[in-house]
Amino acid sequence: MLFDEVIMGRRSIRGYKPDPVPKDVIREIITLATRAPSSMNTQPWHLHVVTGEPLDRIRKGNTERNQAGVPASREIRMHGPYEGIHRKRQIEIAAQLFETMGIEWQDKVRRQDWVMRGFRQFDAPVSIVVAFDKSLTGNDIAIFDCGAVVNCLVNAAWSKGLGAVINGQGIMQSPVVREHALIPDDQVIMSCVAMGYPADDFSANDVVSRRRPVDEVVNFVGFE
């Protein structure tokens, strides 16, 4: 695939075929993804690729803790609820997804079910937990670097015919993830990425999220 086709074609995938993903394919994707640039080439990331029984244990633990009302325990700082224009964009993508899935805003049961899918890693056959070296805690650049590798990861997956979604929800109960993904104590969990072959009949997979126009985003300086 051409670079433009990958970038313009990629979408977040939230419904998967149960088919396992061969280890070699994941290796190829990670080989591409880890070409991501990082500050002074420090490459602070660690990618924990989880499948099968350990992933099922994470799904179960996440679900149980959320249903029991255990507060989220992320290992990186959070911003609290989005407000203003950011909240507006958050609602816009949620509305696109709910509309295509036939979920009404008032339908609390189906909305909660959708949230729980995220805690189950969207039932994907693979979850890649992204962590960074704890010695870099407090250095925002390490998080920037991990963002770069995650972006490469989802695009590399797409280029190989797989789908993925970056899934902040999946690591909100970080002790569960840490235990079953065997994450060492000297690493900080940043996020995770659900990955697998996209289900053909899952309408949310076709949603194309909107982007701000270039002229709104950019400030050209010194051009003719």
Q: Is 198 in the site for ligand FMN (CB under 6 A)?
A: no
The answer to whether residue 169 forms part of the interface with ligand FMN (CB under 6 A) is yes
Residues linked to residue 187 through DSSP beta bridges, in sequence order: 133
Determine if 166 is a binding residue for ligand FMN (CB under 6 A): yes
Using CA atoms, how far residue 147 sits from 57, 87, 90, 144, 201, in Å, is: 26, 21, 19, 5, 30
Whichever of 54 and 168 has its CB closer to ligand FMN, that residue is 168
**Binding span for ligand FMN by CB under 6 A among 9-17, 99-107, 173-181, 213-221:** 9-17
Start-to-end CA span in the chain (Å): 35
107 token code pair: 């339908």
Two tokens, residue 181: 């993904």
Contact present, 126 and 16 (Cβ < 8 Å): no
- The answer to the question of residue 11 lying near ligand FMN (CB under 6 A) is yes
**Stretch 19-58 residues interacting with ligand FMN (CB under 6 A):** none
Pick between residue 79 and residue 223 the one whose CB is nearest to ligand FMN: 79
Span of 17-25, 32-40, 59-67, 166-174 interacting with ligand FMN by CB under 6 A: 166-174
Angle 191-142-115 from CA coordinates, rounded to 5°: 15
Task: Based on the shown chain and the rule CB under 6 A, indicate whether residue 167 belongs to the binding site for ligand FMN.
Answer: yes
Residues that bind ligand FMN (CB under 6 A): 11-12, 14, 93, 118, 165-169, 191, 209
